[in-house]
Structure 1
């Protein structure tokens, strides 16, 4: 296992490697694989990028994100302006059924609700909003209500995970109950955990994925 000092340096280097974050003042603390991020940035996307950069570092088990979004006077937007901008962005994305999504903005924080058929649509909605100026945070409460009549086959999900070259550790148990898929076991990185969850979501008929995979980095 990496020492706290080594892991902290690795995360700092990973954050500084991202072009969006090179000028950002982000504090990093490491404690037995748990990373805490602090500081302030001027856009929500920078906050998200910092968290993702930290999660992708080998040896990181979890990330506690405490970064604040602080705007300069020119980037401040009213809730009405943000709502209108989001509605307009949705119109330009073929993969986002904007008419099925309700947008609420409170003091710069965006709340998305509604029902969609696929998780990729839910993720696309959040990603489209993330790049907008004036956003302090996003709560994605969109639920998945699939119309698929397919029976979710545990074996199909297991095979899909096994054939993914980015997931080296095969100690993953897939459990299916009704339309809910639960992933158990351990993987070597946060990226592998995220990728396994994404693959499970791709199965037709899935309404929810409970990703209980434990990140257990074992450095050889």
Structure 2
């Protein structure tokens, strides 16, 4: 079992190490800790990096709460307008072979993308989220897509259906008519094999 870190300095070092392991140096994201509450401040290039930083910080033993003050921006470039982001998102989804054409609608507000629609498989949902979250200018993604019930039920039914083999055993009984002789007991003998009077 892992032991929780006992003080804020050790917790800060652990979070910094976790962020370094995914390529986010302290010069990109500053880590402050007070009373086991971790605050991340800084900027990253895309929503995927922001999400990775949040996930890694929450994985560190001893973190009780996480405050995220991380902006998404690319050094030397200006912020994209929502209509530009929408065009990029739609283009990326159209190129993604894992997402059916026209299955997802997008809504953008201040760089935050919301995905809406109905898909057939969880893999399509994951592919859409992955594609969109890595785009420049996307501040974050809310995935409100759903999996079609019929498709999900069909997949569950197919996975749960196991071929059934039924074996039928046929027993044939032969009856022989005899006169004075019982086939099981012999001539004039009772069931115990004794001579009948």
User: In angstroms, what is the RMSD of aligned CA positions?
Assistant: 2.9
Aligned to 1:41: 44
Sort the Cα spacing of 1:127 and 1:151 in 2 relative to 1 into closer, same or farther, 3 A. Answer: closer
**Which of 113, 117, 142 is residue 114 of structure 1 equivalent to?**
117
Q: Which runs of 5+ in 1 are unaligned?
A: 157-220
Name the one with the larger strand percent.
Answer: 1
Aligned to 1:11: 15
C-alpha deviation, 1:27, in angstroms? 2.6
Q: Does 1:134 align with 2:134?
A: no
Sort the Cα spacing of 1:144 and 1:35 in 2 relative to 1 into closer, same or farther, 3 A. Answer: farther
Sort the Cα spacing of 1:98 and 1:106 in 2 relative to 1 into closer, same or farther, 3 A. Answer: farther
Aligned to 1:169: none
Q: Which runs of 5+ in 2 are unaligned?
A: 161-197
Instruction: Compute the TM-score of the two structures, normalised by the length of structure 2.
Output: 0.64
Q: Does 1:28 align with 2:43?
A: no
Aligned to 1:102: 105
Query: Using the alignment, how far apart are the partners of 1:57 and 1:125 within structure 2?
Result: 28
**Is the 1:112–1:141 Cα contact (8 Å) retained in structure 2?**
yes
Instruction: Compute the TM-score of the two structures, normalised by the length of structure 1.
Output: 0.58
Larger radius of gyration: 2
**Is the 2:72–2:137 Cα contact (8 Å) retained in structure 1?**
no
Question: How many residues were matched structurally?
Answer: 152
Sort the Cα spacing of 1:124 and 1:60 in 2 relative to 1 into closer, same or farther, 3 A. Answer: farther
Query: Using the alignment, how far apart are the partners of 2:123 and 2:155 within structure 1?
Result: 20
Larger relative contact order (Cα-Cα within 8 Å, sequence gap ≥ 6): 1
C-alpha deviation, 1:84, in angstroms? 1.4
